[in-house]
Structure 1
Amino acid sequence: MTAPHTAAAGRRLPHFIIIGAMKCGTTTLYRQLAAHPGIDMSRDKETDFFVAEKNWPQGLDWYEAQFARETPGAPRLRGEASPNYTKSRDFPGVAARMAETCPEARLVYIVRDPVARAESQFRHGVLMGTLPGGLEAFADSHEYHHILDASRYARQLAEYRRHFPAEAVAVLDFDLLVRDPQAVFDRVCDHIGAPRHAVADAGAQNDSRELSRVPAPVLRFAQSPAGRRIAGLVGRGTRDRIRRGLARGPARHAAPFPEALRARFRADLAADAALFREMTGLPFDNWSV
Structure 2
Amino acid sequence: MATAPGLPHFIVIGAMKCGTTTLYRHLADHPQIDMSRDKETDFFVAEKNWDRGLDWYAAQFSGRGPVRGEASPNYTKRRDFPGVPARIAAACPEVRLIYILRDPVARAESQLRHGIIMGDLSPAAEGFTDSHEYAHILDASRYAHQLEPYLAQFGRAAILVLDFDDLRRDPQTVMDRVHAHVGVAPRPIGRAGAANDSRELARVPAPALRFARSPLGRRVAGLVGRDTRDRIRAALARGRDRRPEALPEALRARMRDDLAPDAARLRAMTGLDFPGWSV
Q: What is the percentage of aligned positions where both structures have the same residue?
A: 69
Superposed, 1:198-277 pairs within 5 Å as 198-277=188-267
Deviation at 1:288, TM superposition (A): 1.1
Comparing 148-157 with 162-171, which one deviates more in the overlay?
A: 162-171
Per-residue deviation, 1:235: 1.4
What RMSD over aligned residues (CA atoms) do the two structures have, in Å?
Answer: 1.6
| 1:57–1:252 CA distance, 2 compared to 1 (3 A) | same
- In the alignment, which residue of structure 2 is the partner of 1:40? 34
Q: CA deviation at 1:133?
A: 6.3
Q: Distance in 1 between matches of 2:92 and 2:268?
A: 27
The 5 A counterparts of 1:82-101 are 82-101=72-91
Cα distance in 1 for partners of 2:217, 2:159 equals: 32
Cα deviation for residue 105 of structure 1 reads 0.7
CA distance in 2, matches of 1:216, 1:133: 19
Task: Report whether the alignment pairs 1:107 with 2:97.
Answer: yes
How many Å apart are 1:192 and its aligned residue? Answer: 0.5
User: Partner of 1:151 in structure 2?
Assistant: 141
Alignment of structure 1 residues 131-170 onto 2, 5 Å:
131-132=121-122, 134-170=124-160
Deviation at 1:11, TM superposition (A): 3.2
CA contact 1:44–1:236 (8 Å) conserved in 2? yes
Kept in 2: contact 1:19–1:81 (CA 8 A):
yes
Provide the TM-score with structure 2 as the length reference: 0.94
The alignment of Structure 1 onto Structure 2 pairs a total of residues equal to 277
* Aligned residue type for 2:243: H
Mapped partners of 1:62, 1:174: distance in 2:
31
Deviations 1:181-238 (A, max 9, x none): 1111111001101111111113211111111111234324323444333212111221
**8 Å CA contact 1:133, 1:254 repeated in 2:** no
Which AA in structure 1 matches 2:40? E
What is the distance in 1 between the residues matched to 2:234 and 2:156? 40
Q: 1:242 to 1:226 in 2, by over 3 A?
A: same
What secondary structure, in the 3-state scheme, does the structure 1 residue paired with 2:70 have? strand
Q: Tell me the distance in 1 between the aligned counterparts of 2:77 and 2:230.
A: 26
Q: 1:178 to 1:62 in 2, by over 3 A?
A: same
Gap change, CA 1:224 and 1:194, over 3 Å in 2 = farther
Q: Aligned equivalents of 1:10 and 1:29: distance in 2?
A: 24
TM-score, structure 1 length as denominator? 0.91
How far off its partner does 1:249 sit? 1.5
Residue in structure 1 matching 2:6, options 12, 23, 32: 12
> Deviation string for 1:40-59 (max 9, x for gaps)?
11111111111111111222
Aligned to 1:69: 63
Q: Deviations over 1:87-109 (max 9, x none)?
A: 00001011111111111110000
Paired residue type of 1:157: L
CA distance in 2, matches of 1:200, 1:121: 27
Q: Give the secondary-structure state (helix, strand or coil) at the position aligned to 2:69.
A: strand
> 1:107, 1:169 within 8 Å by CA — same for their partners in 2?
yes
Q: CA deviation at 1:172?
A: 0.3
Measure, in 1, the Cα distance between the counterparts of 2:216 and 2:49.
13
Could you say which residue in structure 2 is the equivalent of 1:4?
none
Counterpart secondary structure, 2:153: coil
2:241 aligns to what SS in structure 1?
coil
Change (3 A) 1:227 1:162: farther
**Counterparts in 2 of 1:144 and 1:25: CA distance versus 1, 3 Å:** same
Q: 1:102 to 1:50 in 2, by over 3 A?
A: same
1:80 aligns with 2:70: yes
1:127 paired residue among 114, 117, 133? 117
Whole-angstrom distance in 2 between the partners of 1:226 and 1:62: 20
Match of 2:154, SS state, is coil
Q: 1:223 to 1:162 in 2, by over 3 A?
A: farther
Report the counterpart of residue 3 of structure 1 in structure 2: none
Q: Which runs of 5+ in 1 are unaligned?
A: 1-8
